[in-house]
Structure formats: structure tokens, C-alpha cells
């Protein structure tokens, strides 16, 4: 597919939207991948050939957009949507108009018919970007920054459309994942829409330190430091050269 790459001025300040392609037709998957590659504010972060496989992937990974085929064996795209309590943006791609009414009952962002054309794909992608931007702006306004003098022991983060309390003492480390972060805690892993800068501003500096552009760690859980990595709960975390000095100063060394 030969197309001209789209430009989107609002997308320049954020990471591309993470997309999962779900279609049992390999040719369709490649066409959608080509469309995504020509759209700077989108990123093809995975694909699978069944709704059953997609359900397992979505259980452990976060995506901003699903490009979802309707007609698949054993479990349809609409069946998959029924299993998702808080789905991301969804663009249905199918060869039949007969599912349109059902599709919009799920408030999908758009409904594309095969054979896919890039201009129509771009129109759908721009709808998705607008929806995501609006949602993120609203979520950013929901929680005020941690005020001076407020309780320093915990914060609340938004996970799967609900606010979850996180005790700072339970957090082992934070790992960046595009526009999301993984909070790895004593109670499990949380996928949160945030930036590392926001984490640095909200988490107490007496306990947490940035050691890499993709990692913030709780110094209480550092088990060992060797060369350019440190060990926390069986996880080796890289330490960037620019962060090594500040980390060494924070550790209580003999």
C-alpha cells in the first residue's frame, strides 16, 4: 500500500497511541499495519488472529486502540467487546454493513468496511485521537497534585476506570511504557496512564529515585548494585550513567 504519511499537530507532544490489530486474515492485518505506519500518532504494538488470543493479551497489556475484525471463528469481535469491562477506543473493520447497529451499541469510535482505503482509515484514526485526547484531559483534571502537608504515605491512581489506593511503602519500582507506567507493587502490577515526570512529582523523594529514563525505584527495596544495574525482587534494573551519582549518594554505603 502506497500512501502519504498523515500529519497531526496535536500528536507531537505525546507518544503514539498503542494499537492492537485483531483479525484472522493475515492480509488484512498487513493492510492495517501499513495504514498505521503512515499515521505518525499511531503505533502498531501487536496483532493477533483471534478474539480469544486478544482477550488474553488485553488481560495483561494496555492499548489505546483496537482495530477489530467482527467475523472470526469461535469468538467474534463483538463477543470480545462484551467481555471487556472498560475497553479502549475501538475501530471495527469488517466486510459487512450488517453489524453497524450492534457496533454502535458498544460506542465504537468508527466502523470501516473492507476493502480498506487509507483516507477512510485516517478519518477513523483522527476520531480516535480526538476521543483519547479529550478523555486524558478529563482524567488529568480529576486528581489534583499532592499538596504540601497532605498525607505522604499513599496516593490514588486510575486503573480500569476506577481509583485505586497505592501505598508508597508497597511500591517496588515504576517502569515507563509509552504514555503509561507500570507500578510494580507488593500487591501486583498496576498499569496506569501517567508520565514518569508526574510520578517523580507525586511520589516522595525521600523514598523514590530516578535511576533510568524508564525506571524509578524505591530505595528501600534495593538488594544489590552491580556495575550499571541494581536488583529489586529478582528484577535487574538498568542504571543510567547520568543517574548513577545521585543513586550512590542516596544509598547508605560503608
User: How far apart (Å, rounded) are the C-alpha atoms in residues 243 and 253?
Assistant: 17
What pLDDT does 125 receive? Answer: 96
Does the structure show a pLDDT above 50 at 59? yes
**Structural contact between residues 195 and 139, judged by C-beta atoms closer than 8 angstroms:** no
**188 or 144, greater pLDDT:** 188
The cell for 113 is 468496511
Q: In what order do the strands lie in the sheet with 42-48?
A: 42-48, 17-22, 65-69, 89-94, 110-113
Contacts of 54 by beta carbon, 8 Å cutoff, 6+ apart: 20, 22, 48, 66, 68, 80
Q: Which residues of the chain does CATH 2.40.50.1020 include?
A: 154-250
Which residues of the chain does CATH 3.40.50.2300 include? 9-141
Residues 68-85, mean pLDDT to the nearest whole number? 92
Mean pLDDT, rounded, for 126-154: 67
Residue 112, pLDDT score: 94
Sequence-distant (6+) residues with CB within 8 A of 230 are: 211, 217, 222, 223, 224, 236, 237, 239, 247
What is the per-residue pLDDT across 4-40, written as a single tens digit (0 to 9) for each?
Answer: 445 443 433 457 899 999 999 999 999 999 999 999 9
Q: pLDDT grade, residue 60 (50/70/90)?
A: confident
pLDDT, position 149 = 41
Banded model confidence at residue 240, pLDDT cuts 50, 70, 90: confident
Per-residue pLDDT, 146: 44
Q: Is the peptide bond before 185 cis (omega within 30 degrees of 0)?
A: no
Pick one of 3.40.50.2300, 3.40.50.300, 3.40.50.1100, 3.40.50.150 as the CATH number of 9-141.
3.40.50.2300
Residue that wins the pLDDT comparison between 129 and 97 = 129
Question: What band does 136 get if pLDDT is binned at 50, 70 and 90?
Answer: low
Q: Write the pLDDT tens digit of every residue in 174-222.
A: 998 877 889 999 988 998 888 888 888 889 988 899 999 889 999 999 9
Q: In the CATH hierarchy, which fold is given to the domain comprising 154-250?
A: OB fold (Dihydrolipoamide Acetyltransferase, E2P) (2.40.50)
Report for 91-105, 135-149, 230-244: range of highest mean pLDDT: 230-244
In angstroms, what CA-CA distances link 241 with 60, 200, 238? 31, 19, 10
Amino acid at each position: 500500500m502506497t500512501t502519504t504519511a498523515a500529519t497531526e499537530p496535536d500528536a507531537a507532544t505525546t507518544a503514539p497511541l498503542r494499537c492492537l490489530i485483531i483479525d484472522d486474515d493475515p492480509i488484512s492485518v498487513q493492510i492495517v499495519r501499513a495504514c498505521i505506519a503512515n499515521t505518525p500518532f499511531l503505533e502498531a504494538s501487536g496483532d493477533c488472529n483471534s478474539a480469544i488470543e486478544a482477550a488474553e493479551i488485553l488481560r495483561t497489556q494496555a492499548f489505546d486502540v483496537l482495530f477489530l475484525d467482527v467475523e472470526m471463528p469461535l469468538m467474534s469481535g463483538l463477543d470480545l467487546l462484551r467481555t471487556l469491562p472498560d475497553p479502549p477506543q475501538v475501530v471495527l473493520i469488517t466486510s459487512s454493513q450488517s453489524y453497524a447497529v450492534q457496533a454502535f451499541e458498544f460506542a465504537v469510535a468508527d466502523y470501516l468496511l473492507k476493502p480498506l482505503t487509507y483516507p477512510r482509515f485516517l478519518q477513523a484514526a483522527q476520531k480516535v485521537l480526538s476521543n483519547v485526547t479529550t478523555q486524558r484531559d478529563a482524567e488529568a483534571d480529576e486528581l489534583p497534585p499532592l499538596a504540601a502537608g497532605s498525607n505522604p504515605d499513599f496516593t490514588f491512581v486510575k486503573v480500569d476506570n476506577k481509583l485505586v489506593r497505592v501505598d508508597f511503602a508497597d511500591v517496588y519500582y515504576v517502569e515507563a511504557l509509552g504514555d503509561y507506567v507500570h507500578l510494580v507493587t507488593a500487591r501486583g502490577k498496576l498499569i496506569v496512564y501517567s508520565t514518569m515526570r508526574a510520578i517523580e512529582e507525586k511520589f516522595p523523594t525521600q523514598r523514590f529515585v530516578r535511576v533510568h529514563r524508564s525506571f524509578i525505584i524505591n530505595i528501600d527495596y534495593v538488594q544489590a548494585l552491580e556495575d550499571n544495574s541494581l536488583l529489586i525482587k529478582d528484577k535487574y534494573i538498568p542504571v543510567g550513567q547520568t543517574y548513577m551519582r545521585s543513586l550512590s549518594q542516596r544509598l547508605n554505603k560503608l
